[in-house]
Amino acid sequence: MRPESTIFRNEALESLSQGNDNRHDALLEITPGWTTWTYWLLVGLVIAASLYAVIGTIDEYATGVGVIRDQGRTLVTATTGGTIRRIAVQPGQQIQIRQPLVYFDDSKEGIELERLQNDFNLQQLNRLKNPNDPAAHQQLAALRSQIEAAERRLKERTVLAARAGLVQDMRIRQNQFVSAGESLLTIVGENDRLTVIAILPGQYRPLLKKGSSLRLELNGFRYAYQHATIEEVGNEVVGPNEIRRFLGQEIADAVTFQGPSLIVQAHLPLRSFKAEGRWHEYHDGMHGIADARVRSESILAALVPGLRTLLERDDE
C-alpha cells in the first residue's frame, strides 16, 4: 500500500506528534539580529550630531607671534669703548647696587692720571717758591680740572651695577673689544613684571579688547599652553618696520613679520611655567605662537551660511 501523499516532511509530522510546538510562526528568518540595534544606533548618532550642530560652536582666533619681555629688566651698556680686562660676575649671580660688573683696560687712563698728578705736584712746588705768581695759580687750577676729568675717565673704565638683581643675558667675554653703547649684560629683579608682546593680524583690531585672554605656546614646548590677560591693545595697525623698532633690534632679528599687524600686550601672572611635568623659568626674548579668540559661531551656521543672515536679523 502506497503511503498517502502529503506536502509536509515526515520529520515535521513526527515533531508535531511529539508535542514540539516551538515557534511555528517563524518558518523563515532572512534578517540578521544585529541589524535592529545597528539601525537604532545610527538613529541615535544622527540625533546627537544634529543637537551638536545646533548647540556646538566654532571659535575663530587671531594668531601671530608672541614674545616674552621682562619689563623691569635693566640693560647695561658700555659708556666708553675699549677692551674688557675682567668680568667680575657670572650669569645668574645675585648682585647689589654699585657692585663692579666689568673692568675695561684702564692702563692708558691710569698713566694719564699719574702724569697729571706729577705735574700738579711740581706746579705746587713752583707756587711755594713764587706765591705771588698769578700764572702759577692759573696753572694749578687748570691741572686740577684735568685731574678731575682724568679721574672720571678712569672710573668709567669700571662698569657698576645700577640696581640690585640677577645677572642675565651676558653677551661679552674677556679680552673682547666693545664700542660705546654696546650691550654688555642684563640685570633683572625677582619681582619684575613679565609681558607677552603679541603681534597679531591687523584686521582683527575691532574684535580685540582689553581683559580678554591670550594663549601662548612657546617654541620647544608643544601643547604647553600659557594663559595671559590682555592689558593693552594698540590703536593703530602698523607695518613690520615699526614692530621691529618697538621690540628692539636684539629681539626683532629673531622673528619674521609680514603684512599689517597689531601690537597687543598681555600680563603673565607667574615667572615660571609648567611643561611636561616640570617647572621652567621664563626668559626675556622667548617666543612662540600667540592667539586670542575674537568670535564664535554655531556649527550649524558655519555649515549653512544662509543662517547667519537670519540670526543677525533676530539680533537686531
Could you tell me the mean pLDDT of each successive run of 10 residues in the chain, 316 residues long? 61 68 52 77 89 81 90 86 92 91 91 89 80 78 88 90 88 90 86 88 91 92 91 90 82 79 91 88 88 84 70 55
* The pLDDT of residue 230: 93
Residue with cell 686740577: 144
Q: Residues with Cβ < 8 Å from 189, sequence gap 6 or more?
A: 72, 163, 164, 165, 166
* Sign, Cα dihedral of 291, 293, 299, 300: negative
All structural domains of the chain with their residue ranges: 58-71+193-306, 76-104+161-182, 106-156
DSSP characters over the chain: -PPPP-SS-HHHHHHHHTT----TT-S---S-THHHHHHHHHHHHHHHHHHHHHH-EEEEEEEEEEEEEETT-EEEE-SS-EEEEEE---TT-EE-TT-EEEEE--HHHHHHHHHHHHHHHHHHHHHHH-TT-HHHHHHHHHHHHHHHHHHHHHHHTEEE-SS-EEEE-----TT-EE-TT-EEEEEE-TT--EEEEEEEEGGGGGG--TT-EEEEEETT-TT-EEEEEEEEE-SS-B-HHHHHHHH-HHHHTTS---SSEEEEEEEES-SEEEETTEEEE--TT-EEEEEEEEEEEEHHHHHSTHHHHHHHHHH-
How much is the pLDDT for 17? Answer: 73
Say how far apart CA 213 and CA 266 lie, in whole Å.
8
pLDDT for 316 equals: 52
Distances (CA, A) of 133 to 122, 124, 130, 147: 15, 12, 5, 22
What global pTM score does this model have? 0.63
Beginning with the edge strand found earlier in the chain, give each strand of the sheet holding 100-104 in spatial order: 158-160, 100-104, 82-87, 177-178
All cell numbers assigned to 151: 679721574
Instruction: Return d(Cα 281, Cα 271) in angstroms, integer.
Output: 6
CATH architecture of 76-104+161-182: Beta Barrel (2.40)
In this structure, is the dihedral angle defined by the CA atoms of residues 9, 12, 16 and 18, taken in order, positive or negative?
positive
- pLDDT of 86: 92
Q: Say what the pLDDT of residue 277 is.
A: 87
User: Is the Cα torsion angle 11, 14, 16, 19 positive or negative in sign?
Assistant: negative
262 Cβ neighbours under 8 A, 6+ residues apart: 199, 200, 201, 202, 204, 205, 208, 233, 234, 237, 238
pLDDT at 105: 92
User: Nine-digit cell at 93?
Assistant: 649671580
Count, residues in the chain: 316
User: What is the C-alpha separation between 298 and 57, in angstroms, rounded?
Assistant: 4
Tell me the CATH number for domain 58-71+193-306.
2.40.30.170
* Angstrom distance (rounded) from CA 290 to CA 218: 8
